[in-house]
Amino acid sequence: MDKSLQELLNQVEDRKEELIQLLERLIRYKTPAPPARNTEEAQQFVASYLKEKGFEIDQWDVYPGDPNVVGVLKGTDSEHYKSLIINGHMDAAEINEDEEWITDPFSPVIRDGAVIGRGAADMKGGLAGALFSIQLLHEAGIQLPGDLTFQSVIGEEVGEAGTLECCKRGYKADFAVVVDTSDLHIQGQGGVITGWITIKSKKTFHDGTRKDMTHAGGKLFGASAIEKMMKIIQGLQELERHWAVMKSYPGCQPGTNTINPAVIEGGRHAAFIADECRLWITVHFYPNETYESVSKEIEDHIQAVAMADPWLRENPPIFEWGGTSMIEDRGEIFPSLEVDANHPAVKTLMNAHEGVTKEAAVVDVSPTVTDGGWFGDAGIPAAIYGPGHLHHAHAVNEQISIEQLLQYTKVILTFIYQWCHTKNR
């Protein structure tokens, strides 16, 4: 290992109190989403931190009070060396008033070798370790040949895809690491898309006419949209079972691809036959699938179900997919991400992990979703790699092991140094 890099890794241990203090500072910024619109102060801190280290700063509001921050540190020989994006989200999971924390969620404490506070695992620990790595490189006067981009984004917890906005703004690199909760596994992910299925009658009827549309000889061509939605739900269950039998993906448990009927809304008044019913579904799919393909599968199957019903044939279901925010328009998309274990950056990250931890790197699939899929969607090779265990994310007394935070910081420091010193072929 390069002598200067080894000296920096030693500093991670020697200055661990500074690293912990940096994480504690990030936790003290109250950035839960929902309600969101509260990251501006935290993001300004990140922007100032990066600017002091020589980064060019791009900061813009995705929503009022929720800006993205992107810092770019140009390499000394960008044309001939690899570039890297480090990505993480500043928003944290929401807090319910009745949760029994041992402390205020945004007043971090240290107990039993862990930092406790909202966002510690998901994912301010990842942000803190990467930022501290940048500080150590800067203080040592190490100039990277390749470009380094740091993205602190908003909205991940509520599907607002600050990372997508970075991709739309044109930020690219040879590789991206999303430093989200992965327990130091190198991960891809399946995807998620939400959708609304609406059953809407072309006519509205008084509830006194029900006997004429449901009993023999009534001759009234009508139906309850709520009752017809039961057929749609049954059709979704049949498709879900078919997927569980016919589809699989290495590293994913059987049946991971699910169709969840999450919310149902319907009817207008007890004196009416329900003339509209809306079903909100959440669809999980495998890393080798796209949200476009799975939504089309669902539409095709449900349309076939509708064609077999005389009333639904005349009043077919309406589909709305995705959305830009669970807050603003009640919808979200998380694209899937496949990790190529043979990609040079993944191999470099694996070697960095093994060199620091003295354990074999694990390349697998996250059981949840992150912003990582947006890089895959944009054609940028990427992986998820961060500290923290998923059992602690979103949990009461959310926490992160200090020992794992130190290991992660050493790995991500090593990876940044080595990848940005890798020549283009």
What is the C-alpha to C-alpha distance for residues 254 and 282, in angstroms, rounded to an integer?
A: 18
User: Please, which residues have CB within 8 angstroms of residue 10's CB and are 6 or more apart in sequence?
Assistant: none
Question: Could you tell me how many helices (H) and strands (E) the chain has, helices first?
Answer: 12, 18
Do the bridges between strand 148-153 and strand 84-89 make them parallel or antiparallel, or are there none, so unpaired? parallel
Give the burial class of 236: count Cβ atoms within 10 A of its Cβ; 0-12 exposed, 13-18 middle, 19 or more buried. Answer: buried
156 is catalytic: yes
What is the C-alpha to C-alpha distance for residues 215 and 150, in angstroms, rounded to an integer?
A: 66
Could you say which of 40, 66, 122, 156 is catalytic? 156
What is the C-alpha to C-alpha distance for residues 412 and 127, in angstroms, rounded to an integer?
A: 11
Could you say which of 24, 91, 122, 275 is catalytic? 91
What is the C-alpha to C-alpha distance for residues 19 and 41, in angstroms, rounded to an integer?
A: 20
**SS3 assignment, position 153:** strand
Q: What DSSP element (H or E) covers 252?
A: none
What is the C-alpha to C-alpha distance for residues 399 and 404, in angstroms, rounded to an integer?
A: 11
* Residue positions annotated with a catalytic role: 91, 156
